Chain A
Amino acid sequence: MEKAKKRQFGIIATIVLAAVIVLGLMWATATANRNAEHQDTLARVEKLGRIVWGVKADTRLFGLMDTKTGISQGFDIDIARALTVQISKQTGVPMSAEFVPVSTASKMQLLKNTNIDGSVSTMTITPEREKIIDFTNQYFDAGQSILVKKDSGINSIKDMNSSKYTVIVVVGTTAATETAKFAPKAKLLAVQDYATGMQALKSGQGQAMSTDNAILYGFATENPEYHIAGGTFTHGPYGIAFDNNQKPMIKETNAALATIKQNGIYNQLIKKWFSHVPGLDWRSLEAK
């Protein structure tokens, strides 16, 4: 190309590309605004005939990946299945349950992004979260505890209020924020998932791992040299989460939850997953 032609092409191409970028940004902002508007979860799952549940893959008892099937197994998964069946009955629309593994750090984002419809993933109901997403009634009663080595001499979270102690937590959990209230001097180490957290505890990166007692019981069954010290110091029952302002979906799910608690399915699942956990009074978890 001659110089003048090249110059002309360069200028035009620059303008075109710049225009594309500007228009792209404008379109993006417009879509962002439109997406901020309401999308009804119940209408979506009824239309598609499936509910995509976010579940854990690294948490014993609640959601642990079965490497044979590629699907997580645990209390959360069974609850989600039972709820899907019950919601299908209530709405008269047959729906299947699908499962997507989520990490603690990612599940809120996935809900907001509608990658998943709902989340049954050991999620504590908190006022902060309720501002952003919707919760059903509680489906499991839990509270925060610490897991320590049996011979560590640590008897409760209060013993750890010193800068020589490090408490391991997982990014995005309630434990990450609550621990600082009970042991403000202790250092915090936030990791991406529980499997890494437990490994980090075992390799001495911290002296305790803190999260909900129910999750810690799972680790204590597997690692007999560790135990839960000092009971729970917070009370934070789990709820099933949906995106913000999903009243119809919440209503259906709460109704389904009440039904499976009444007809005994819920208690069967509690017995299936928690009756063999040492040190846990599983009967207290049953629906009355």
Chain B
Amino acid sequence: MALLQNNFPTFLQGFGYTLLSSIIALIGSMILGTGFAIMQIVPQKWAQVIGNVYVQVFRNIPLLIITFFFFLVVSKYVKMSGFTSGTVALMLYTSAFIAETVRAGILAVDGGQMEGARANGLSFGQAMQYIILPQAFRIALPSLGNQFINLVKNSSILAFVGGLDLMYQGNMVAANTFDTFSTYIIVAIFYLILTLPLSYYIQHLERKLKRAL
């Protein structure tokens, strides 16, 4: 407990950076992910190919490598800190998973609706925006929530590039105090404050959705 008291500002700072990184990456990956999901289902072949390649590449390589790539290689040309590199990597990595989730959501919406909307004179974009996407998001909400939890957990990758997040600060405290056991338990509790309530809320949503079906 003395450990927590002495290092409380450090843990709190880490918690703040973890939260900040997660929120930025969440917003970014939602936009990118939705974009690539739509690209995968538009009629244009070239867009489908780009969408597909993007999703397959980022889903199948480790987040750590993407992070190192930004931190050590890209930053030679575009200046970015460890925090920025980690957050950008996190955003790109998660967007591939969100693209898959949103795509599945869109496909779950009855195909007749698109035809109906088009027959009523809406363009593809309008039909997507007003008819299909709102329903798709509602269907995909539990999976999107899970992706957000994964994102928070994966933000611990920032520790490898001096990203000042919770894991990084935890390692620093552990290296200084040698009390690994208590330090990592405290770090765990901070992470659970973010992820556990969200996880229970998603389970609640899933049950509700199941009953509705």
Contact = CB atoms under 8 A, between A and B. Distances in A.
On whether A and B touch (CB less than 8 Å), the answer reads yes
Contacts, number: 44
B161 A191 contact: yes
Interface in B64-113: 68, 71-73, 75-76, 79, 81-82
Contacts of A196: 68, 72, 160-161
B40 to A, nearest CB: 34
Category for how many chain B residues contact A:
10 to 19
Nearest to A187: B81
A203 B69 CA distance: 11
Interface stretch (B123-131, B143-151, B171-179): B171-179
B181 to A, nearest CB: 8
Interface residues of A, number: 18
A89 B30 CA distance: 67
- Where chain B touches its partner, the secondary structure class is helix
Contact of A171 (B72, B81, B171, B178): B171
Contacts of B180: 109
A190 B178 contact: no
A132 interface: yes
Contacts of B75: 203-205
Most B CB within 10 A of own CB, among A109, A132, A203: A203
Contacts of A203: 71-73, 75-76
A208 B95 CA distance: 35
B75 to A, nearest CB: 4
Contact of B162 (A112, A190, A199, A202): A190
Contacts of A189: 81-82, 162
Nearest to A193: B160
Contacts of B159: 192
A204 B84 CA distance: 14
Nearest to B85: A205
B161 A132 contact: no
Interface in A14-61: none
B73 A171 contact: no
Contacts of B162: 189-191
A196 B160 CA distance: 9
Contacts of B160: 191-192, 196
Contact of B81 (A190, A202, A205): A205
Nearest to B161: A191
Given A108-B178, A192-B160, A199-B72, A204 B79 contact: yes
A112 B171 contact: no
Nearest to B75: A203
Interface in B161-207: 161-162, 168, 171-172, 175, 178, 180
B9 to A, nearest CB: 16
6 contacts: A105-B175, A108-B175, A109-B178, A112-B178, A171-B171, A204-B79
Given A203-B72, A203-B76, 15 more contacts: A105-B175, A109-B180, A112-B178, A171-B175, A172-B175, A189-B81, A190-B172, A191-B161, A196-B160, A200-B72, A202-B76, A204-B76, A204-B79, A205-B71, A205-B75
